[in-house]
Chains A and B, each alone.
Chain A
Amino acid sequence: MLKKRLIFTLLYDSGYFSLSRNFRLQRVGNLKWLKENYNFEYISRYIDELIVLDVSKEKRDIKKFSNTLKELTEKIFVPIASGGGIRKFEHAKILLDSGADKVIMNTSIFKDNDLISKLSSEFGRQCIVGSLDIKKEKDGYHFYISNGKECVKKSIDQIDNILKQCPLGEIILHSIDRDGTGQGYDLDSLSLINKEINIPIIISGGAGNSKHFIEGLSHDMVDAASSSHLFNFVGDGLKKAREKAIENNVLLAKW
């Protein structure tokens, strides 16, 4: 049986790993800190996948980011998806040469479909993860691009058509309003994804404890659940969350 996936997301902001709340960042520590005080190598043994996103608000430095990615992933033997600011073919190539197995695309889904097609025909569509940043507002859901700064001015139907034609291998559905709040996933937002699209969905934004992971992973549309909260799952946090999920009949891999 195909297992569900527990994913941890690291947010990189100009040399520092950060906590995010509704896309506002708070720097926590650099790579050295992550390795020493956070014992990331140990933590990585309890996840099915790692996402590393460059969410730098200042000018992005892909060279520096990819070197960090390389060093970070040296002793981590799970799939790694990475992205943030990929605007050119070369950006994706650098990340794929630095430990990433998949690249995460957001803005290009709406602004540069050709780039996604090019990446897909070179690396296969299984290599392209589309990240959809969504916000629930008074008049319904809205999609955001460019690090959550710009609202996509398109109807849900138009977005549905765009997603149907875009050669993606997976979708991350990330709630901006739940981001960093620890209030649990926005499972209602899953209705935004047409079932005909039929590719794996990663739910993200809002996980604060193991109960949230279990809720997310138990939903039949969800293939994977992610958290980026560096402190909620510190120490044995991810190990315990994983064990709890298995106790609650979530089908997770064992090794």
Chain B
Amino acid sequence: MNNPKKIVLIDYGMGNTWSVISAIKYLGFDCELSNSIEKISNADYIILPGVGSFKKGIQNLKDLGLFTLLKNKKFLKDKKILGICLGFQLLGISSTEEGYENGLNLIPLKVDKFKFNVNDLKIPHIGFNSVHFHSKDKLFLGLKNESDFYFVHSYRFRYDSLQGFIAYCNYGEKFIAAYHKDNIYGTQFHPEKSQNNGLILLKNFFEI
């Protein structure tokens, strides 16, 4: 590659960075794990991973001086950002996990706990579940509609027909599985944990 893509995975102490790095390297891309403002500023692709609680995630971003940086749409203008699982939720307006907390406000919807009347459905929602694509987004290139991806979460963006919600999943209720609008991307599932389906999706993201 003449012009290698600069990929930065944000290191903010919220877990599973090793798996994401491994997947990116397996696809043949270089990737740096960092929380330096300078390195993130120079990136073409930013990944915000995450396992853990919303409140703690926001707190860690604030402590590192990354909260105001990532909130700024102008800063992200020439970059693409992908939030995974908790990282996806952090892009929203707010969450009610462990008390109310404001998010990065890049996605115009709030995060809430699953709410359904089906008594025997278990929370957390853990395992592979089919993802229904409702637009032909480039992120899904080469993937069949209703492909299986791995989820592990108790909170979600409730289904909404707002622009940008490109896929949903069904678990007692419809919720948002994937998002893309302009340069902001997010998946509630873990592509780095979804066998070949996830690798295809990640590759698509870096080739957009």
Bound-complex Cα distance A5 to B129 (A): 11
> A77-B192, A77-B198, A101-B19 given as contacts; is B127 within 8 A of A124 (CB)?
no
> A3-B129, A79-B190 given as contacts; is B152 within 8 A of A123 (CB)?
no
B154 sits at the interface (CB 8 A) = yes
Q: Judge whether A99 and B152 touch: CB under 8 Å.
A: no
A78 sits at the interface (CB 8 A) = yes
Bound-complex Cα distance A254 to B149 (A): 9
Bound-complex Cα distance A130 to B15 (A): 19
Contact mask for chain A residues 67-101; partner B; CB cutoff 8 A; 1 contact, 0 none: 00010011101111000000000000000111111
Bound-complex Cα distance A122 to B98 (A): 11
B53 sits at the interface (CB 8 A) = yes
> A1-B129, A126-B153, A255-B147 given as contacts; is B124 within 8 A of A101 (CB)?
no
Residues of A within 8 A of B152 (CB): 79, 101-102, 126, 169
B125 sits at the interface (CB 8 A) = yes
Q: Judge whether B18 and A79 touch: CB under 8 Å.
A: no
Q: Judge whether A124 and B125 touch: CB under 8 Å.
A: no
Q: Judge whether A96 and B148 touch: CB under 8 Å.
A: no
> A123-B15, A255-B197 given as contacts; is B51 within 8 A of A101 (CB)?
yes
What is the distance, in angstroms, from B106's C-beta to the closest C-beta of chain A?
Answer: 22
Chain B 140-175 interface residues, beta-carbon cutoff 8 Å to A: 147-148, 150, 152-154, 170-171
Bound-complex Cα distance A253 to B98 (A): 32
What is the distance, in angstroms, from A191's C-beta to the closest C-beta of chain B?
Answer: 16
Contact mask for chain B residues 191-205; partner A; CB cutoff 8 A; 1 contact, 0 none: 011111111000000
Chain A 168-227 interface residues, beta-carbon cutoff 8 Å to B: 169-170, 198-200, 223-224
Q: Judge whether B19 and A99 touch: CB under 8 Å.
A: yes
B26 sits at the interface (CB 8 A) = yes
Q: Judge whether B52 and A124 touch: CB under 8 Å.
A: yes
Bound-complex Cα distance A11 to B96 (A): 38
Residues of B within 8 A of A122 (CB): 52-53, 56
Q: 5 A-B Cβ contacts within 8 A?
A: A77-B22, A77-B195, A78-B193, A121-B53, A123-B53
